[in-house]
Amino acid sequence: MQPPGGPPQKIALPNIKNIVAVASGKGGVGKSTVAANLALALAEVSPRVGLMDADIYGPSVPIMMGIREVVDQRTTAFPMERHGLKLMSMGFLVPTEQAVIWRGPMVHRALVQFLTDLNWGPLDYLVIDLPPGTGDAQLTLTQTAPLSGAVIVTTPQDVALIDARKGLEMFRQVRVPVLGIVENMSYFEGDDGKRVNLFGHGGGRKLASEAGVPFLGEIPIDPRVAECGDQGEPIVRKYPESGVAKAYRALAATVTERLQQIDRGPELPEVQL
Ligand SMILES: Nc1ncnc2c1ncn2[C@@H]1O[C@H](COP(=O)(O)OP(=O)(O)OP(=O)(O)O)[C@@H](O)[C@H]1O
Ligand SMILES: [Mg+2]
């Protein structure tokens, strides 16, 4: 059912070429980590990249990017900058340990303001880190932001896959292109090069094929991912030669390719003359 007056108008963001939401129906599968490292990997190729934290109640970007200071809300006309990225998060306005107790409309307003009131400057990519679930933030962004597409993150376990599917279907319902599925914590590779599938393996690929969307790749488990996240320098920056960093770079290349495909529109059938 449409609300009175028809569907909400999408805001125009002509300065931002591609807006990519990183999402999953499930919590704790690594959305924020994927969003941060994907943004950094994109920034290695294209210098104008932003990362927006849409998790108003539990922002992760400040800690992951090593920004502890809080700024005055009334004077923030510009996003923060760190590691070559432009950044915005509720955690820059309210200390991370302080709870934000807001109703849906306030979350909506904050996210719209992040997108429209901040001077992002021209960006090639804006990566948006979504909170878990299919709630207010997802609704606002899918209905009002001109999203180019969504990357769905899952871990290989069945429970995560079920929730990832829900997340994916939500984007489909609101006609935001699903760029594909990435399987995080896919396997652990020991020093001897042997792979151990700690949480199972291959569920992401299977889900992608069942849902008819591309599989974007696998990110291995590496304890340094968590260490880097806590220390404010994501693994793509801190250990650029690690297998995980390489997997993120491959993900960035695939995402870029998918965005170009979507831009070109559906392939026209060949005409027989
Ligand atoms: N590939 C990985 N290897 C090891 N640890 C990882 C990996 N990916 C994510 N983690 C760790 O898993 C934890 C959860 O990750 P993250 O916060 O990115 O998940 P999330 O889906 O954003 O969670 P939430 O739903 O709470 O927003 C973090 O401690 C993170 O460092
Ligand atoms: Mg998160």
| 3 found inside a domain | no
Cα(104)–Cα(186) distance, integer angstroms: 34
> Of 44, 70, 51, 236, nearest to 125 (Cα)?
51
Determine which of 82-96, 106-120, 182-196, 254-268 has the lowest per-residue pLDDT on average.
Answer: 254-268
Q: Say if residues 223 and 242 touch (Cβ distance below 8 Å).
A: no
Q: Is the CB of 226 under 6 A from ligand 1?
A: yes
pLDDT value at position 90?
A: 93
- 14: Cα within 13 Å, side-chain hemisphere: 0
pLDDT tens digits, 101-145: 888 889 999 999 999 999 999 999 999 999 998 889 999 999 999
For a pLDDT cut of 70, what percent of the chain falls above it?
93
Cβ of 219 closer than 6 Å to ligand 1, yes or no, is yes
Residue nearest to atom 30 of ligand 1 (CA): 226
Alpha carbon distance 90, 77 (integer Å): 14
Ligand 1 center–CA 32 separation, angstroms: 7
CATH number at residue 50: 3.40.50.300
Domain that includes residue 134, residue range: 16-262
Distance in angstroms between the alpha carbons of the first and the last residue of the chain? 46
User: In this structure, is residue 271 part of a structural domain?
Assistant: no
**How many Å apart are CA 22 and CA 54, to the nearest integer?**
10
- Give the pLDDT of residue 2: 47
Q: What is the pLDDT of residues 18-60, one digit of tens each?
A: 999 999 988 999 999 999 999 999 999 999 999 999 999 999 9
Residue 131 lies in a domain: yes
Percent of the chain past pLDDT 90, that is, above it, reads 71
The pLDDT of residue 25: 86
155 C-alpha vs ligand 2 centroid, how far in Å?
14
Residue 186 lies in a domain: yes
| Phi, psi (degrees; rounded to nearest 5) at 77 | -90, -15
Q: Ligand 1, residues 56, 61, 195, 225: which to mutate, most atoms within 8 A of Cβ?
A: 225
Q: Is the CB of 29 under 6 A from ligand 1?
A: yes
Q: How far apart are CA 87 and CA 81, in angstroms?
A: 6
272 in a structural domain: no
The number of folded domains in the chain is 1
Atom of ligand 1 nearest to the CA of 224: 4
pTM, rounded to two decimals: 0.93
Q: Are strands 178-189 and 195-196 parallel, antiparallel or unpaired?
A: antiparallel
Residue at 270 is within a domain: no
Residue 6 lies in a domain: no
Say whether pLDDT at 181 is over 60.
yes
Bridge partners of residue 127, in order along the sequence: 20, 51
User: Which ligand is closest to the CA of 248, given by its number?
Assistant: 1
Over 50: is that where the pLDDT of 1 sits? no
Q: Lowest-pLDDT range, 22-31, 225-234, 263-272?
A: 263-272
Residue-wise pLDDT tens digits, 153-171? 999 988 878 888 999 999 9
Q: Say how far apart CA 137 and CA 55 lie, in whole Å.
A: 7
Average pLDDT for the chain = 90
Q: Looking at the CA of 154, name the nearest ligand.
A: 1
In a domain, residue 60? The reply is yes
Residue 256 scores a pLDDT above 90: yes
Is 229 close to ligand 1, i.e. is its CB under 6 Å away? yes
pLDDT of 268 reads 61
